[in-house]
Structures are given as structure tokens and as C-alpha cells.
Structure 1
């Protein structure tokens, strides 16, 4: 890997030149249009990104590995292809991107923040990365994650901490903290995050960008092989994890979804994914559920005010609003999710570590704080089958709810970005909701309403606190209605009059 070089400075630039030189801050669709039209070459755009990363990334530590030589070579190939054929390679022709350091990229160090993988250089792309390359994307480098993607904030022993771009004392979220900061800061127009327990959407909410947790039934709609923490070389992945796009606009979520929504390679000969169009054309036509707060996971005053504002705006359009019906019991759903999450996360434990967990689970009292973790992590197959049956029943309950509603709008998080607690032992961590201490993992409780049943959900920036931190909401839709939740995010963004823009430090 090499460090980025700084592009030559230009004297006497015209307004058009200045716009081209700031193209890295434009929506991805605008960048692709400029690349297709020849307004800028892929190589020049790569140099813009490398220059910007070199200048702004040291203060944030979002991009942790740069493959400048590989990116320049790929950009040159894209430029030659366009010059020789007059046609783009694909929908992402020549577009530079960073990628989460949990996705294997051939020839580029991929560590997942683990010292055990600090020298791991894959010889094969993750399936999703292969789709990006086939679409013409140029891989700039890798973005930071917590060790083995196992925290709600982003820090690891190899690369250190990634800072929230709005306030360095606040967390960027995890595990896709590096990717969210990269997109928010103009280091990349798009990213691919992963989400088992809010790992994609929590950082997006805290960093003021858009993110989509894609649908997942028996199989995901975005292939997940090559995602760590399933260990390098594993052919399988978690039965709960999804990959999805991060972007600065909802429209750009659509762009990347079109590239990523593909069957796994082994299935492509027999079937394809054809996601349905949005359910409605106008927000006024939507049947909208709103779940603004809940005793199980209280939100703060800023978030309640935001949800009230959204309800008023949507109601004024003439949309049908239902703010009383609930698809599931929040507490019971969250318990089931937690059990299934602990169970699937046990797959990569060593034989010795798992045996120790089994022994501990057999002895732990039911009221011990560690009982849920140990007993879920070591559940017998019979117990997992019973839990999976509960999951299918919840899927049926959600499907019944969406027979009467097109979308459900909820808070994304109880509060705006919380204090970074990297140096606080995990058992002592907490968050504050209107000054009251709450459990650390309640940060993702609202996000995980959709997680156990694999429903698509999009997080979008919808306001700010008095101190300028982003506030976000979540839109959940029925299974495979990924385009509906993106369309609803576009409509809601227009109503709010608050389009997502790169924060002040990115210019």
C-alpha cells in the first residue's frame, strides 16, 4: 500500500474548474455523470480523493489503508476503456470508493481490526466487492471498524479510534463507523456497510448520512461471503447479517442497491433478484405507521420533538397516519433478537472457548447478568429451532401489519451521538437519555426491531440538536420493499427541507 500523493495546485481556475475540482463532494450520480461525459477522468477524480483524504483524514481516522497504486491503475484502465469503446464499464464506471475493513479485497490488507489478521491480504474479493469491481468501481482503500465488528463504537488495537466528524468527543458508532465517517467527510461517495445488530445504520445516524439495511429472508439479497468476522476462507456467513449501501443522498442508495442486489454466484444460473418498484408515487398516498416512543426504550426530548414534527409534516400531505398500532411487542422482539444474535455469533469461537462457554452456561444462575449471553450463545439445536419458529411467527406478524401499512417510521436511536466510551470497560458503559442512565446497547434497540425478521430499513438524517449533532429516523418496510423505503426516504427528505450535505470540515 502507498500513501496518497497530492495533486498539483492550479492557478487562475475558472468557476467550472473549481466545480470539477470539488466533484468529490457531489452526489455519486453527479460524479458518474461527469465521468461518463468526460468532464473529468477517473484518474483525476482519484487524485482529488487522495488529496482530500491526505488533508482531512488524519483528524478523523476513518480511512486506515490506502491502495493508491491500485486505485490509479484501475482508474487508468477505466479511462482507456471509455476512450477506446466510447462506453462505460458499468453503472459505477471509474467511481472511486472506500470499503469497510470487514470486506475482503483481493491484494489489499483486510484486518477487521483484529491483531490476528493484521497481515491478512486476501487473494479473492468478497462477493459484494466483486460486484462493485464488475460495475466499474475503483477501490481506494479500507475504512476502520471495531475489532471483529464487535462494538457500537469504532476503535481497535491496530488503527486506533475513528472520531465522529461533528464532535470528536462523540462516538462515530459501530461497527461501520469508518465507512459512515468516510461518506460524511467526502472521502468516498458510497460505502458498503454490514448490519447484524445495527452496525450499518447506527453509524449512519450518528454521522448524518443515509444507510439501508437490505432485505433478508432465507438468503440475503446482497451476497455476504467474504465478510469478516466469519473467518477468512469460510463459505458461510451469519443467518442474520446483511450488507447495504451508505450514501449522502437517498437517490445514491438506489444507485448502489442496483449493483449489489444479486444472488450469490452459485445461484445466478437459476434465478435473479427483481425488487418491486416503490409501493406509491407520492407520500400523500402512503399508509404510514408511526412509533415515536416506547416505555421499553425511551427516546430523549430532541428525538421526541423530531418524531412529532415528522408526524405533522406527513399528516399535512394527506397520508393516512396510524400512530397506535404496533406490529410486535418491543421487549419480546428485542429478547428474541438478542438470543439469535448471540447464537449466530458463536460460530467462529474456538473449540476451547466454546467448551468453556458451555461449562459456564451450565452453572450460571438464571438471574446472573451473564446468563442471557451464555445460554443464548450455547443453545442446543432444539432450542435454536424453537427460537427460529418464533422468528417466523414474528415475520408473519410484521407481514400482517404491512397488509394495512406501507411503511413504519420510528426513531433511529434514542439520542444523537453519545459520548465515546472507548476507554470505559464494557460493563460500565451507559448512555444518557434526558439525563437518565440507560443501557449501553439501547443505542440499537429501535434499529433491531427489523433485524430478527430481515425487513428492509433505511436511516436518514432528519434534523440536528441545538449543538449541531445529526438526528435521524428509521423507515421500515415489508420484506423485499427496499425500493419503497428508499422512495419514502426521498419524500421525507423533501418534506423536511433538510437534504444531507457533507459537514463543514469536508469542504
Structure 2
């Protein structure tokens, strides 16, 4: 009799668990439904204010500024183009578009032209040999980088009023590397305060506009770079990424106090490019002596790559994806279904829903970063509560995005044991799936670039990017065309040191779907 009663209790408990599970799923579905339409209402409201303020970029008639950095370097080497001619073309384009975009915040045009003339002279008299061109693969090609990265003689404020007027007295390591490769710096571009936001705006230089639609967010923190690159203002663009700082801007169109020598960090320098052929070539320069580890010149047979994809990471903090984003992923999956030897496989990992929490924990472990000190230029430590009150009273030196970071810093930190366990678990699961011959197609955002400042109302959508900094996997953000005039795309992820797989997939998708589309009319 007691056994029968126990069975009934167990059966009832199981039914209760099943009922609770169903109820949770129903409630979560209702939450997503409401959130989906709240997001639409937000866009409608901001659109009502912004749509009348849209400005268009002028027509581009010089094909030089649409060329890849690799092709420009070849033409300079062969004497088909002068470096001065190339540099002048990009300077002219910056002067045309920057009043509209507010992307470049400090420039060195005269110095750049002088360097270009010197290179042309050396090529003309034959003092530059083939071996010199091999050691300097971007000789005479212009580049730009973000203002938070030290470029000798140029602005280096991080968007902080306490650093107003500050100029760098040295070149950051990766700036020195790209200069040693022969590239010529044109200037530095706008960033959010201390690089820590997904839109590019600060009290010193204002807000940067998206070249596809000037009422839209250009992303952050490498937002100035993505804006000027997409507009045809630079051939080589170098950014930094701690939680999507390269990929968010790359989708939507910091070195700061760090030395680049930290042993454990989730910060990396990265390449932004209009053409996939530039990625590996610039990356070789940036990784320097570590190039052999990446085997970037090793041929990749794309049809042999095992393709996996995730449609929804199930992160409750991320907005539901809209149809245009679902179609973008479906297009990529359908294409690889046609060409791959092994059909693409949909996968799920429970840990992807913890992206934001894991990122917050690992950000707190950055050895050379203290937000409350860094935001004060390391001249003391900010009182977060006081600055929050000052801001809402109409004062202070910080943007609303920085205030959000102050508030976020006051919230409880994820449990250390849990964060380490979940990170390692997720990492091992994905490594086991990808091995050394697989990639993962992953969503970039719930929608194309949204209106200025709306990221403050949907701040955790960046989780889609941040999770890969936590795991330290290589990722390439790939453009997949335009929707209503705005770029859409996906992230391609591979296991550590398998960057060449990401790049090969990016090149294949570029070939099939067209890649970069200029945000202006061309001849």
C-alpha cells in the first residue's frame, strides 16, 4: 500500500514538474511577444523624431577609394599608381564625408602626403627593392585607427574631458607594426568614452553617424573606424575589441590604458575591411611573429568545412530577432547546404544564454583595467552614485552610456565558481563541435542598425558579440547585403588559431552575396 502511495506521489510530482516547465515556456513566449512589439514601438517613436534629419553622402567618382588595400599596394609596387595619388584620394574623400559623419577627430594630412611623396621618390629612383616590398606589404597605402590607440602626435583622449587636448607621444605596438609594413596614417577616429559602449559618442567630439543612414547608430567602440571605412575614407582600418567593439561597428556599417602585453585578457586588436582579401594580409602584420600559429597561407577547401549554426542563443536579455535577420541566416545556411560535402547542422549550447553575465565576470578580471579609475584618467577614483546623481541633475562630465556603466557596476557580480564552470563547459562543448575543420554561423543582432541612442533601451543585445570575447574564439563579421538600405550580416566563429576558416567562409559568402555595398552612388 505504501509503495502505491509513493508511486502516486512521484507521479504527481512529475506532473507538477512538467506543468511548471510548460508554464515557464508559455510565460517566456509571452515575454518575448511583448518585447518584440515594445522594440518596434521604440523604433517608431525614435523614427518620428529622426527621419526628417537624415543626410546623404555625396557621389563617389574616384575608384581608388573603393579598391582593396591589397590591390592598391600592388598598383603602387608596379608603378600603376603613385602613393601620393592614393593618399590624396582618401584625404579628399574624408574632407567630403566627415562633415556629415563626424568620424575622424584628428588628422595628419600634410605629413601623410609628405610621406607618400618620399615613397614615390624612392620607388622612382629604384632604392626600394623587391625584398623591401615583401617586408613592407602595404607600402604607400593609407590607414586610420581609433582615437583610443596611441598614434604619435595625434589626439589620445579616450573621450574624457580630463584628457582634453592630450596628444600621444608614441605609437602603440600595432600602430608601429602597420607603419613598419609601409602604411601611412591619415588620422584617428571617434570612440565612446573609454571605449565602453555600443554607440560612438563622447563629450569632446560628439556623436558619429552611420554612412548608410545618418540617423542610425554606427556601433562602438570602433564606430568612427567603421563609419569612415564604409564611406570610402580609408584603405586600412584597425580597431580593438573587448565585447564586440570591432564586430558591432563592422555589422552596423581599446587599447586606452592597456599595454597589449597583458597575459590574460579578452581585448584584441582587429581588422575592419570592405574586402575579404584584405583581412588575412593585414592580420599577418598585426600578429607579427605569431603568424605561423594561424597558418593563414594554408589553403582552405570551403566545401570541406563542417558548417554549424545557431538560430537563437536563447539569451533572455537579447531582443527577439526580426524576420530580416532570420532570412539572412537562412540564406547563408541554404547556400552551404548546396555546396558543402556535409550538410550544415543546427546546434544549441545552453551556455550561450549566459553571454552577458559571463562577459561581466571576465571583464572584472582584466588585469590592467579599473573602470572607476580609468574614467578619471587614473587621477583618483570616481564615486559612481555621486556621478549618477550629478548627471540626472543636469551636470557631470559623462555620457548617459557611461552612467549606464556606473549603474551596471553597482549591480551584483556573477558568482565566480559558477562563471568559471559555465565558461569552461561552454568552451569545451564548442571546441568538441568545431574541432579544427568546423565553423559556427551565429546571429549578429536582432535587427539592422537602429536609431541613435536606442541602444540605451536595449543595452544587452551586445551579448551576441561579447560571448566570443569570453571564450577567446576568432570571429569574422560578414556582410550579407542590405535590407531597407541598411547592412545585415552574420558572425562566423571558429576554434582558436583557425582564423583562416572564418576568413575563407567570409570570402565565399562575399562571392555569393556581394559583400560590402557602398552607402553612396558611384560612377
Superposition TM-score, scaled by structure 2 size: 0.76
Seen in structure 2, the aligned counterparts of structure 1 residues 205 and 356 have a Cα distance that, compared at 3 Å, is closer
Task: Show the 5 A alignment for 1:358-507.
Answer: 373-374=409-410, 387-388=419-420, 390-403=422-435, 406-421=438-453, 429-430=456-457, 439-442=458-461, 444-465=462-483, 467-496=484-513, 498-504=514-520
- 1:240 pairs, out of 251, 256, 266, with 266
1:80-119 residue pairs with structure 2 within 5 A? 80-83=121-124, 84-87=126-129, 88=133, 90-119=136-165
Inter-partner Cα distance in structure 2 for 1:117 and 1:237: 27
Report the CA distance between 1:129 and its aligned residue.
Answer: 0.3
**Conserved? CA contact 2:284–2:291, under 8 Å:** no
Residue number in structure 2 paired with 1:158: 204
- Count of matched residue pairs: 432
Q: 1:147 to 1:307 in 2, by over 3 A?
A: same
Point out where structure 2 has 5 or more consecutive residues left out of the alignment.
Answer: 1-59, 389-404
Counterpart CA distance in 2 for 1:388 and 1:342 is 13
Give the helix-richer structure, 1 or 2: 2
Change (3 A) 1:272 1:458: closer
Task: Determine if contact 1:289/1:322 at 8 Å carries over to the other structure.
Answer: yes
* SS of the residue 1:77 aligns to: helix
The 1:205/1:290 distance shift into structure 2, 3 A limit, reads same
Q: 1:171 aligns with which of 208, 217, 227?
A: 217
SS of match in other structure, 2:95: helix
- C-alpha deviation, 1:62, in angstroms: 1.0
Cross-structure match for 1:196: 242
Unaligned stretches of 5+ residues in structure 1: 1-18, 208-223, 264-270, 361-368, 431-438
Q: Residue 47 in 1 paired to residue 116 in 2?
A: no
**8 Å Cα contact 1:56-1:506 kept in structure 2:** no
Aligned-pair CA distance for 1:408: 0.3
Partner Cα separation in structure 2 for residue 199 and residue 179 of structure 1: 10
Segment of structure 1 superposing worse, 77-86 or 179-188: 77-86
Shift of 1:101: 0.7
Cα deviation code 1:288-343 (max 9, x no counterpart)? 10112243233111001111122111101134234432345222343212222245
Q: Is the 8 A contact 1:343 1:376 kept in 2?
A: no
In the TM superposition, what is the alpha-carbon distance from 1:236 to its structure 2 partner?
A: 4.7
SS at match of 1:65: strand
Q: Distance in 1 between matches of 2:438 and 2:328?
A: 21
Number of the residue aligned with 1:214: none
Does the 8 A contact of 1:60 with 1:165 survive in 2?
yes
Structure 1's consecutive aligned runs of 4 or more residues displaced over 6 angstroms after TM superposition are: 354-357, 369-372
Is it true that 1:249 corresponds to 2:275 in the alignment? yes
Are 1:65 and 2:106 an aligned pair?
yes
Measure, in 2, the Cα distance between the counterparts of 1:255 and 1:504: 27
User: Alpha carbons of 1:418 and 1:197: their partners in 2 closer, same or farther (altered >3 Å)?
Assistant: same
Supply the RMSD in Å over aligned alpha carbons: 3.0
Structure 1 residue corresponding to 2:327, chosen from 283, 305, 312:
305
Q: C-alpha distance in 2, partners of 1:469/1:234?
A: 34
Normalised to the residue count of structure 1, the TM-score between the two structures is 0.78
Kindly state the Cα deviation for residue 399 of structure 1 after the two structures are TM-superposed: 1.6
